[in-house]
Chain A
Amino acid sequence: GQNIDQPTEMTATEGAIVQINCTYQTSGFNGLFWYQQHAGEAPTFLSYNVLDGLEEKGRFSSFLSRSKGYSYLLLKELQMKDSASYLCAVGGTTDSWGKLQFGAGTQVVVTP
């Protein structure tokens, strides 16, 4: 199974940068995923990392270190609409592609 830890809540001001850390312990691994979920809505896919390193996608970047069981999601130039829950998820083995185990989520609050 997997054990996934991420902070419960983070607060930052508009225009700032926030880094959401995620650590995991897993018996199988096939990628680290980040999803965004606004209150009352469905999760939406943000990014994934399969190999070590940094993946950049606009204002969002995600980093992975498989040896350390560690990932982070970096949100730059924060906007009010970025207030949401950010879910870290670990993918299963190749044979069980898509079997994502989700963390509890980090609630990001962006203040003016």
Chain B
Amino acid sequence: DARVTQTPRHKVTEMGQEVTMRCQPILGHNTVFWYRQTMMQGLELLAYFRNRAPLDDSGMPKDRFSAEMPDATLATLKIQPSEPRDSAVYFCASGSRNQGWGYTFGSGTRLTVV
């Protein structure tokens, strides 16, 4: 089965450090999403891209977060500087409207900022 690949699976870092999370969407999917999940807030949409162009990043703290798609096979989410409140599971998901409505989540990156 095709799947969305996220790296790293786990990341522990100190406050103030830069964190980069990577995602390889499913080949042929033209829409890529970044979600963050915490116990308190649930799943929150941070940003999403269609055909590599950013469509909406209103859910993302702009002062420290940035999301890019340097090419169709790679999406990145960066946090600089990281803070303890950024501790969460970050999911990437991809989909394509012409391949059905459901889209596929990666296994997530569990980030802990100490």
Contacts and interface: CB of A to CB of B under 8 A. Distances in A.
Interface stretch (B14-22, B62-70, B72-80, B103-111): B103-111
Interface in A58-108: 87, 91, 96-105
Interface in B70-114: 91, 95, 97, 101-108
Nearest to A102: B43
A45 B103 contact: yes
B43 A87 contact: yes
Contact of A43 (B43, B55, B101): B43
A42 B110 CA distance: 11
Interface residues of A, number: 22
Contacts of B102: 33, 45-46, 48
Given A42-B108, A43-B105, A45-B104, A98 B42 contact: no
Given A41-B107, A42-B91, A100-B45, A33 B55 contact: no
A105 B103 CA distance: 18
Nearest to A101: B45
Interface of A: 31, 33, 41-46, 48, 50, 87, 91, 96-105
